[in-house]
Chain A
Amino acid sequence: MSKRKLLLGNEAIARGLIESGCAIATSYPGTPASEILAAVAYFQKEASLSMHTQWAVNEKVAFEIAYAGCQTGLRSAVSMKQVGLNVASDPLMSAAYMGIKGGFVLISADDPGPHSSQTEQDSRLMAMFAKIPVLDPDSPRQAKELMGVAYEISESFKTLVMVRPTTRVCHSRQDITLGSIPKNKREVKFEKNPARWAATPKFRLQLHKELEEKLAAIANYRPTAPKKLNPKAKSARAIIASGVAAAHTKDILKELKIWSKMPFYQVIQPFPLHRKFIAHIIDTYEEVLVIEETMGVIEMQLADRYRVKGKLSNTVPKVGELLPEKIQEIISDFAGLKSEKFTIKSAPGRRPTLCPGCPHRASFFAIKKAAPRGIYTSDIGCYTLGLNLGAVDTVLCMGAAISQASGFYHAYKNEEKRPDIVATIGDSTFFHAGVPALIDAVVQKVGFVLVILDNRTTAMTGNQPTPATGHGACGEPTETVDIESLVRGCGVKFIQESNPYELKEFIALLKKAVKYSRKNGPAVVISKYPCVLHRARQGETGEYIPVEVTEECDGCGYCIKHFECPALIFHDDEEDKRVSIDPILCTSCGVCLNVCPKGAFVAKE
């Protein structure tokens, strides 16, 4: 039964997993990977499959759960974004040595650009580091196919396999033919073998030797060998590409009318690069151009530094997304054609900002009132956009808001003038990585205020559930862990929940917390109000307090600068500077009533 459907790359990947009989799928949300697990849950429900699909607390835990699944013989998969792989790298490195019983696929989605990440690191390099093979799809269609190939490699060679899509694969949609879902179930059996599954250093040496042998064999595996896409083309020069760069290159070579003249190879398996291919390339061509993202992984395995050009040789830019217009320039230069340079002058565009009605806006406004000259450490999530209100000074990685607050505290604690320190972290981020840092802060008696922004969801990535939500990826009921109890369990003595929409009371509480923190160690305020986008999608509404701006407004711009709600429009007319409220954007949350210092905002009758 073949049906053609428009699938997002991430949905195609999920479908590929399902059609390969994946029985355990775990993940933590992260752009561009978030939709993978949600799609697995969708297909699972549609076909009434009895597999286990879940969001885990973080990528390390997600990986470990899936890995144990494969240790029983079940096919498993874990998905995440490239920086999430950093979190999962500890179990990855160890597991690579131990190998698998049931097939194990690690999907790590990269974000060249970066569009929404702290780095544009190349997960394929992590695969090389871990010594596992990696596959590099060029489109949603190919990403789906490669899931099956990955499991075959995994089980034939007893190794973990990484599949590395990028944003333009994950978030592209393509018409794709759906296949059938296997019905047979596997035996679940964990066979004891401590020499492998609990290998101590002495055994690790043997496992490492085996791992190297596996890689050598995979470097000879025919089904994933690089393909020359235009067999008739002959030249002293050739182009090699992988991933989306290969897709762009296909179209560009045809458009430049050199498809029949410029030999073009597509690499599906960037590591380990096929031995026969390396020899063929070095023997056949005088000059080779390698186009790949985001690092020269294929290029570095073709060790001829004179004849091979790519990222390492600075022929392809080392930073930024490899857009097709850039690829066209590079290919034209390489082929000796006159190259048109298309540099679109980059206009600023709109910066992202918190939604109108977002509780974080109120929280940040209050934090600046309570600790106006404080250091504001923050973290990763929607609330990072507190930057726009001047309420975010640092963002490093998941959970760092708390540890950096500790660091700043210790640096300043013997100084005469010590700034107030206010850390902000989201509920999902807190579960992900905040707990160990908070325990440390308690033990070290760090004087800071932690504001946990509990909007009851993992918002930025698409409103995935958290441990406090009460349901899982398939909508099934789960146990919940209450944040206040968790914070108390970490040893914090000052904890209070408050509603940021009640701005006056919230500011008063923050001031109390700041005062406490100056002498007594950590104070935690839980800012509790749901994500308005999520609530609206569920068909619910909140307060309805329509506001209007009166004649009292003198255009001072305080609300625009310090509250920054997108529904506030600043009219910059010479004679008449003033602010008005955009009725299309305004959600009538009423919080701005507390913002204007001139009393120009009033509730509508």
Chain B
Amino acid sequence: MSKTIGQQILISGVGGQGVLFITSLLAEAAINKGLPVFTSETHGMAQRGGTVVSHLKVGEFSSPLIRPFKADGLLVLKDENIAQHGAFLKTGGWAVVNSANDLKAEKKIAASAIDADKLAQEIFNPKSANLIVLGFALARAGRTSMDRINLFCSLTDIKRVLKGKFRGREKLLNSSVKALEAGYKKCLK
């Protein structure tokens, strides 16, 4: 992977959904690949159910923030956040949204919807919607069809990060990988 890569991804949700966790997985994946990475997070008040957004930039950036209409991609864990954060997406950018609706009403951005909350209940891991959404996005990155997205890392890269993070905690590792793969497979259907 060339060092001149420049990818900007916004991850949006509400406190408690694990927005920062997903951000750190992607950031660690970038470090493992020798890529420069910069993230920006909201702490504190956000934990109490407030809106959380984190900015992830892979490449040679000085500024930690993504500007409106500049994000290459958007991971939205709470669909109501599209109203606020959809405007960060550049023209032609990609979005994966945790939503029970099909989002055809959101004409402004070409988003894939996945009912990650429902899927999370089905795999008996109610808090894993964040990993499911990430898995789905990784699948889109792997596709060779029309809605392929450009992502700096793969499913294998993220699994490697999970293995490192949950070393010695088999149960947590297994359930996390399961959630990730559930989202991945959902996309390929």
Contacts and interface: CB of A to CB of B under 8 A. Distances in A.
Interface of A: 4-6, 31-32, 34, 115-116, 138-139, 168, 171-175, 244, 247-248, 250-252, 323-325, 328, 342, 344-355, 382, 385, 460-462, 533, 566, 583-584
A248 B68 contact: no
B27 A6 contact: yes
A349 B175 CA distance: 31
Contact of A347 (B15, B38, B40, B83): B83
A462 B20 CA distance: 14
Contact of A248 (B37, B45, B63, B117): B63
Secondary structure call for the A interface: loop
A567 to B, nearest CB: 10
Contacts of A345: 87
A346 B84 contact: yes
A351 B50 contact: yes
B126 A584 contact: yes
A584 B117 contact: yes
A6 B43 contact: no
A350 B49 contact: yes
Contacts of B27: 6, 173
Contacts of B83: 347
Is chain B's interface secondary structure helix, strand, loop, or mixed overall?
Answer: mixed
Contact of B65 (A168, A342, A354): A168
B44 A173 contact: no
7 contacts: A31-B44, A34-B43, A172-B39, A173-B41, A244-B63, A251-B61, A462-B43
Contact of B43 (A31, A247, A325, A349): A31
B62 A251 contact: yes
A174 B55 CA distance: 12
Contacts of B166: none
B142 interface: no
B10 to A, nearest CB: 12
Contact of A352 (B39, B50, B68, B78): B50
B25 to A, nearest CB: 11
B47 interface: yes
Contacts of A460: 44-45, 48
Nearest to B82: A347
Contacts of B42: 115, 171
Contacts, number: 127
Top-6 shortest CB links A-B: A352-B50, A349-B51, A347-B84, A250-B62, A172-B64, A352-B48
Given A324-B63, A385-B48, A460-B44, A352 B37 contact: no
Contact of A461 (B44, B51, B117): B44
A350 B48 CA distance: 10
B44 A175 contact: no
B31 A175 contact: yes
A353 B67 CA distance: 28
B39 A354 contact: no
Given A344-B87, A385-B48, A325 B63 contact: no
B21 interface: no
Interface of B: 14-16, 24, 27-28, 30-31, 36-51, 61-65, 67-69, 78, 80-81, 83-84, 87-88, 117, 121, 126-127
Contact of A173 (B24, B47, B51, B65): B24
A353 B51 CA distance: 11
Given A173-B27, A248-B63, 6 more contacts: A32-B44, A174-B39, A324-B67, A350-B14, A352-B45, A533-B47
A355 B61 CA distance: 36
- Of A385, A461, A584, most buried by chain B (CB within 10 Å of CB) is A584
Which of B16, B38, B126 has the most A CB atoms < 10 Å from its CB?
B38
B31 A323 contact: no
B39 A173 contact: yes
Contacts of B31: 4-6, 175
Contacts of B117: 584
Contacts of B37: 6, 173-175
Contacts of A323: 65, 67
B185 to A, nearest CB: 22
A533 B43 CA distance: 15
A139 B64 contact: yes
A347 B12 CA distance: 13
Nearest to A111: B44
A25 B133 CA distance: 41
Contacts of B46: 352
A351 B84 CA distance: 13
Contact of A354 (B28, B40, B48): B48
A399 to B, nearest CB: 20
Nearest to A533: B47
Contact of A32 (B14, B43, B48): B43
Nearest to A168: B64
A355 B63 contact: no
Contacts of B45: 31, 115-116, 352, 460
Contact of B50 (A5, A172, A342, A350): A350
Nearest to B36: A175
Contacts of A351: 49-50
A267 to B, nearest CB: 15
Nearest to B43: A171
Contacts of A347: 83-84
A342 B64 contact: no
Nearest to A358: B48
Q: Which of B14, B43, B78 has most A Cβ within 10 Å? A: B43
Contacts of B84: 344, 346-349
Contacts of B61: 251
Contact of A355 (B48, B68, B88): B48
Nearest to A352: B50
B40 to A, nearest CB: 5
Contact of A349 (B28, B36, B38, B50): B50
B49 A566 contact: yes
A355 B50 contact: no
Contacts of B64: 139, 168, 172, 174, 244, 247
Contacts of A349: 50-51, 81, 84
B26 to A, nearest CB: 11
A168 to B, nearest CB: 5
A173 B48 contact: no
Nearest to B78: A350
Contacts of A584: 117, 121, 126-127
Nearest to A326: B67
Contacts of A348: 84
Contacts of A382: 48
A433 B62 CA distance: 40
> Which of B31, B67, B68 has most chain A Cβ within 10 Å?
B67
A342 B68 contact: yes
Contacts of B16: 355
A533 B15 CA distance: 12
A534 to B, nearest CB: 11
B63 A247 contact: yes
A431 to B, nearest CB: 20
B43 A328 contact: no
A359 to B, nearest CB: 14
A350 B43 CA distance: 15
